[in-house]
Structure 1
């Protein structure tokens, strides 16, 4: 890509600004007659405006979902918006290829390959916030965690549910793969979130683990 730098031992590319929000791959080449390696696995990088012009909401309002669940993605803003996503299977695509679009709301039935990053984008190139969606098979639990970043000082509750949406008890919760409490419990309640609570969470019930989900924590907005 233009602006990337290369050397004999390392290569880099500086990402700056929302126009660089995309999926990226890399590959190496060597020799006078250049022979290239295979491409790396794709990695999605989010580099949008921290104060987006629109908001993407998810219903049901959680990161993790079961295969065959239905989900609605709605764009709220003062423009015409389309729902887009980046997945490992299909890369970058619009709702018209994998869902049903009505005005600024996209609905779809989820399968394992629908795990990815979703957002709203206007015709003029404006972005909403980005939302991660993870699709779990039907054999383990899911972690119910906030879709959007939580604000420092706010309370948050994490729980673990099965395919029938039953709230599970005797659950162990993990933060960055470390057990949060030595005892099992029904919910993980944090009375006042701090930056130290940011990270990956998962739950474990009867020996089966949920996928991991990232919980982001943002600083308190002093203007409110």
Structure 2
């Protein structure tokens, strides 16, 4: 209160909603209550942001779950705040799913927890990268689309991100079925190998996640030398 009296100062032991009033006389005459002031308290709990699956680099169209974990906060009723790359309506739960991720979902993600007037610290930032370069490319080695009968040629399916993560599926109108591997070596080619070849990849760790089909490559095997 202002006037001839000194301001009154108190120390508060915890976060909360505080207001004051003044009184004088006997019997005491009180003023109205002041406006409220919110005091928040930062707790030492530091959350961790995790991804499920745990890869920080994924491909367009995949699904990933972002989770905020507060150590030592089990059983507490936390509300969560997020700082994220693309969140039009930030969730208040400890996790959310990014379904059919796009490149705009790339960026840093961090979180903190709130309980009444208590806040945790902000977590460290975890960076998610969403790539769209996962469409396969079919290549020929040697790089000739027309070869002669009896020659050897390799048809290869190349996916950015490494061969070990993928199973392969081929589609061709040739009379010879290509194996489910990243490359198909044709020894002593014949006209039955002529046709269009295209491929796609299927993630070994999650069989329902696939790439797009590659563009087709046409192979022609000529009988004449």
More strand by share: 1
Structure 1 length-normalised TM: 0.34
